[in-house]
Amino acid sequence: MPRSDVDDTPTPALTPRRGDTGATRPGTPAAPARTATSAGRFDFLDALRGIAAMAVVVQHAAEFIWPDYLRFSIDTFRLGEFGVVLFFLVSGFIIPASLEKYGSVGTFWVGRFFRLFPLYWFCLVVALALAALGRYHLSEEYLSAPWLWSAVNATMVQQFIAGPLAIGASWSLAYEMVFYLAMSILLLVGLNKRSVPIAVTLLGAAGVVGAWVPGRLLTGDHGWPGVLTVISATAAVAVFVAFRAGSARAAVVGVGLAVVAVPLALNQPERVWFSLLLFGTMAVGTVMYRMMTASLRPVIGWSVLVGAVLVIAVVHRVYVSPHVEPLAGAFVTWKPEAVTFGAAYALFGLGYALRARRWPRFVPYLGRISYSLYLVHTLVLYATPWWSEELAARIGLTPQWPTFVTWVLLTVAVSALTYRFVEAPFHSLGRRLTRRPPIVAADAAPAVLAEPAPTMSPAPTEPTVEAVVRGTHPAAVDARTGLPERDSRPEPREQPGRGTPPESQE
């Protein structure tokens, strides 16, 4: 498959040179702290993804079984939304490493395609098959034009095209795709490292313009004014990209991405302020990545993280009016959303702060299969029948708890299989198609190949981001995987004046 490389500038090193004591010149960020890894992957990222995925699984399984839990999850704490917000923070952290490793938008998108779409399409086909057998629910709108809506769902951005969802959890994947588009454009125009201004702008816009900017400008009832607004905004972004891009090729690619990204973003279905908070959350994850790579001072990174929590709470306080949710009869205020976002941010910050520590092995394992967990669990819940009263009575229980435990365990088992036989092979294929040797500066010494680094290097250095981009997101985030695959490539030693080019944990 041909590459679509736009810029061959390698990413700055994620590790200081061997022998570096961590001392820095006055006014420069401190050297990165050590991070625990397993098989070349950051443990804390996989652990956070595993927690996020299981939060979504538990949320949906529990709300199917216990109506009281559904009310609790609406009026007190939203566990599933907590998982999605955590996924978005991890995605924001990971995607810059993937994009910037070689500065190639084409390579990035080839990798994303093989990382995300094969499993997603597999689950989409299974969902349609289960629906045909009466073991899965599709909306009446979907069934009114199944071929059309199946084609729309196959794009993974159906949430922004006003289409019904075949897989309910896939709504967040549309946000991921638009975020990827935006980050690609920022790379092409040289603004990809302005992470703090981007995060502050998105979160600030949620509070300032979120109330009066309408959603669904294309598919809503806004008529020609909505269409003209989208055309004007797309043209403005395209002109900016064309003038800002560093080459004609980058300009063409960037304009093409803008023509896709801007209409999708302006046709988002949520309350605009809420969508901006979600995109802002991913941008905050990017800020934390910059802090880890020592390109941003810790005081700035932590200030953005804490400030984002405060802004999110204030925005919810302003825009959420108390009301009764009709499905569960729960009384809704601004507090559950604010607490849910805050808890996800707090766990992400804690995981980052303790990234040098080891996690119990099963937690990062769940992170490796997290993409499968996220997509597969709904299929398992619909396809697996409840325990009967008679069968549950044999172990002295009512059907609810045995059914819940069965659903959760079966979801993990099926996800391990889909990772092993669907995700991993296509992910490996994508890596083979996009693989090329890292770029070395002209004045650098010739690369010396070494055996793959051990799980924990004895030198106090930051490991490469081979887990950051290999493997979002739901999402992801991404490196959703079961049995970890070791890369067979030997890793180049660090060159004088530069560190090891970061790899990925997608």
CA-based end-to-end distance of the chain: 20
Name the more confident of 32 and 467. Answer: 32
Phi, psi at residue 324, to the nearest 5°?
-100, 125
**C-beta separation of 167 from 375 below 8 A:** yes
Predicted pLDDT at 506: 63
Two tokens at 6?
Answer: 């736009």
Q: What distance in Å separates the CA atoms of residue 26 and residue 434, rounded to the nearest whole number?
A: 40
Q: Report the pLDDT averaged over residues 472-494.
A: 37
Q: What distance in Å separates the CA atoms of residue 417 and residue 423, rounded to the nearest whole number?
A: 9
pLDDT band at 25 (very low <50, low <70, confident <90, very high): very low
Q: What distance in Å separates the CA atoms of residue 372 and residue 365, rounded to the nearest whole number?
A: 12
Whether 448 shows a pLDDT value over 50: the answer reads no
Predicted pLDDT at 180: 97
pLDDT band at 303 (very low <50, low <70, confident <90, very high): very high
For 38-85, the pLDDT digits (tens) are 655 789 999 999 999 999 999 999 999 999 999 999 999 999 999 999
For 413-437, the pLDDT digits (tens) are 999 999 999 999 999 999 898 876 5
Predicted pLDDT at 40: 57
**C-beta separation of 54 from 86 below 8 A:** no
Q: Report the pLDDT averaged over residues 85-113.
A: 91
Q: Report the pLDDT averaged over residues 328-335.
A: 89
What percentage of the chain exceeds 70 in pLDDT? 78
Q: Report the pLDDT averaged over residues 125-132.
A: 98
Q: What is the 8-class DSSP label of residue 168? A: G
- Listed in sequence order, the DSSP H helices in 217-356 are 223-244, 248-266, 272-292, 298-319, 335-353
**C-beta separation of 78 from 337 below 8 A:** yes
Whether 383 shows a pLDDT value over 90: the answer reads yes
Q: What distance in Å separates the CA atoms of residue 419 and residue 371, rounded to the nearest whole number?
A: 8
Sequence-distant (6+) residues with CB within 8 A of 321 are none
Q: Report the pLDDT averaged over residues 183-191.
A: 95
Q: To the nearest whole number, what is the mean pLDDT of the chain?
A: 82
Closest to 268 measured CA to CA, from 201, 177, 346: 177
Q: Residue 248 half-sphere exposure, CB side, CA atoms within 13 Å?
A: 0
Does pTM top 0.85 for this prediction? Answer: no
Q: Give the C-alpha distances (Å, rounded to integers) separating 165 from 38, 138, 265.
A: 36, 8, 18
For 1-10, the pLDDT digits (tens) are 433 333 333 3
